[in-house]
Amino acid sequence: MAICMTFRAAGSKVHLLINKSSIPWYIKMAAPTSVRFLHEKAYVNGKWADAASGKTFDVVNPSNGKKIGVVPDMDAADTQNAIQFAQTAFESWKETTAKERSVILRKWSELCIENKDELAKILTLENGKPLAEATGEVMYGTSFMEWFAEEARRVYGDIIPSPAKTKKILVLKQPIGVAGMITPWNFPNAMITRKACAAIAAGCTVVLKPAEDTPYSALALCELAEKAGLPPGVLNIVTCSRANAGVVGKMLCENPMVKKISFTGSTVVGKILLQQSASTVKKVSLELGGNAPFIVFDSADLDQAVNGTMNSKFRCSGQTCVCANRILVQEGIYPKYIQKLAEVMTRDLKVGDGFESGTTQGPLINHNAVEKVDGHVQDAIQKGAKLVLGGQKKGGNFYAPTLLQDVTLDMKCAKEEIFGPIAAVHKFKTEEEVIKIANTTTAGLAGYFFSQNISQIWRMAEKLEYGLIGVNEGLFSMTEAPFGGWKESGLGSEGSKYGLNEYLEIKYVCLGGM
């Protein structure tokens, strides 16, 4: 239980966050580094916890390279300990009624909304995204609490007409058990709630490893969960450095007490976790990388297509799994589209610290990300793409929003996920050609197209091999809609009425002798 007191000292606001069970006291100076709910401990069995080794690692603000604080560098043994607590908590949590779980989730959502500004500050501090975007993510993250508070009460079983007069067929849905979760840095709040709230609503307990770069959003959520009445052991956060990610992940996947793995991150790591989970035949959900085609047909409304590109491409500085990756534009509209996109990018994109007003493009997450993105741009230029805008490092982890035209399929930016603010535009001639290009990838997460031709809209929506399709729309993530990829972009769906199924087992009960 943490108590926050605020007073003024030497003209500046000081928050004192006093935590009974963890850090003796700690003091943070006023914004942007003064943030409530910023915990430098892991959270296990309702207590703020250290690694058994006592080791910690630094968390750094990607905008200025300054240390925000430390968190425990937990290992396999610490993870096993958290799993044991989650298993114990499961024994009682699974016996709660759906209504009881619903009330706690709803209270949690209310507390998050009340404290959305503080949660957004933590998010901007550790991830770098602009504060307005961070606030949007907190609200999106909170929407899963509210949604699953409602869905918890709709886990209906079935009574199936039986072919035998003496036998009745009943179907029960029951919580699967302890769920192990691993999340990435690009949505440090919403990727946690999208998974954990579904599990908690179903009656499961959770052991979650957040990304090394962004542990504080996950920990802040725990304080509010506790205030909302979530019992100890239901939600456990195990923090660890990149060096320990492998052993923590392996423990989650191979420990027989864990009955479910849910992962969001790269396809490479997703495949490792899938293999590791095979040893105990766990149910696995994977939300992995994409390589989204973003198709603009000649019939498209130009303004709508450019607006859609801006929304899809530049959120989180291009670091989302659903970002437009291969922008494929039909030859008739191609010159106008490039011209308009260049104008709007120049007018609307402002690179800067996420706390500065007007910033739309924060830093990339780290130096490696800058090098990777710049590598994509240099490779494209070398292979014949034309640089229209940007193409430079801007110091630190910042990269200029970039527009490349005449991109071809042999370039790295077409074959790999760019994960940066690079709009890479290809030209195509026919619908058949673009369907082939769009589907010739192992990824199958998001696809977009812009057209005013209704027959073409229907054909394209059916033919694209993607789990998420935006038609004349660049933003489509909503808690009510299922989120999940096809092919190597993943397994299962999150959010929506399907999200709870990932944490439930179906049991067939045959009542005989009737």
Q: Which residues have a catalytic role annotated?
A: 287, 321
Which residues have a Cβ under 8 Å from the Cβ of 54 and sit 6 or more positions away? none
Q: Measuring CA to CA, which residue among 212, 65, 175 is closest to residue 128?
A: 65
* Structure tokens belonging to residue 92: 């009682």
Among positions 263-282, residues that touch ligand NAP (CB under 6 A) are 264-266, 269, 272
- Which residue from 245, 389, 400, 457 is in contact with ligand NAP, where contact means CB under 6 A? 245
Return the axis-axis angle of helices 190-202 and 131-151, rounded to nearest 10°: 10
What's the rounded Cα separation, in Å, for the pair 507 and 297? 48
Which residue's CB is nearer to ligand NAP, number 295 or number 321?
321
Binding mask 483-512 for ligand NAP (x = CB under 6 A): --x----x----------------------
Q: What angle do CA 346, 470, 428 make, to 5 degrees?
A: 70
Q: Measuring CA to CA, which residue among 127, 261, 263 is closest to residue 185?
A: 127
182 near ligand NAP (CB under 6 A) = yes
What's the rounded Cα separation, in Å, for the pair 70 and 16? 18
366 near ligand NAP (CB under 6 A) = no
Which residue's CB is nearer to ligand NAP, number 42 or number 155?
42
Per-residue DSSP letters for 232-243? Answer: TTSEEE----HH
Q: Measuring CA to CA, which residue among 143, 295, 152, 120 is closest to residue 216?
A: 120
Q: In the complex, what is the shortest distance from the CB of residue 159 to ligand NAP, in angstroms, rounded to a whole number?
A: 36
What's the rounded Cα separation, in Å, for the pair 477 and 480? 9
What's the rounded Cα separation, in Å, for the pair 325 and 412? 11
Q: In the complex, what is the shortest distance from the CB of residue 49 to ligand NAP, in angstroms, rounded to a whole number?
A: 18
Q: How many residues does the chain have?
A: 514
- Which residue from 212, 374, 431, 488 is in contact with ligand NAP, where contact means CB under 6 A? 212
Which residue's CB is nearer to ligand NAP, number 2 or number 74?
74
Instruction: Mark the segment that binds ligand NAP (CB under 6 A) among 51-59, 262-270, 408-416, 505-513.
Output: 262-270
- Which residue from 68, 220, 306, 445 is in contact with ligand NAP, where contact means CB under 6 A? 445
How many helices and strands in the chain, by DSSP H and E?
Answer: 14, 25
User: Is beta strand 486-487 parallel, antiparallel or unpaired with respect to 443-444?
Assistant: antiparallel
- Which residue from 62, 72, 177, 184 is in contact with ligand NAP, where contact means CB under 6 A? 184
391 near ligand NAP (CB under 6 A) = no
Size of interface with ligand NAP, in residues (CB under 6 A): 28
What's the rounded Cα separation, in Å, for the pair 454 and 44? 53
Binding mask 334-363 for ligand NAP (x = CB under 6 A): ------------------------------
246 near ligand NAP (CB under 6 A) = yes
127 near ligand NAP (CB under 6 A) = no
- Which residue from 128, 249, 401, 499 is in contact with ligand NAP, where contact means CB under 6 A? 249
Q: In the complex, what is the shortest distance from the CB of residue 133 to ligand NAP, in angstroms, rounded to a whole number?
A: 15
H, E, C per residue of 260-325: EEEEECCHHHHHHHHHHHHCCCCEEEEECCCCEEEEECCCCCHHHHHHHHHHHHCHHHHCCCCCEE
238 near ligand NAP (CB under 6 A) = no
417 near ligand NAP (CB under 6 A) = yes
Instruction: Mark the segment that binds ligand NAP (CB under 6 A) among 63-71, 140-148, 176-184, 455-463.
Output: 176-184
List residues near ligand NAP by CB under 6 A. Answer: 182-187, 209, 211-213, 242, 245-246, 249, 264-266, 269, 272, 287-290, 321, 417, 445, 485, 490
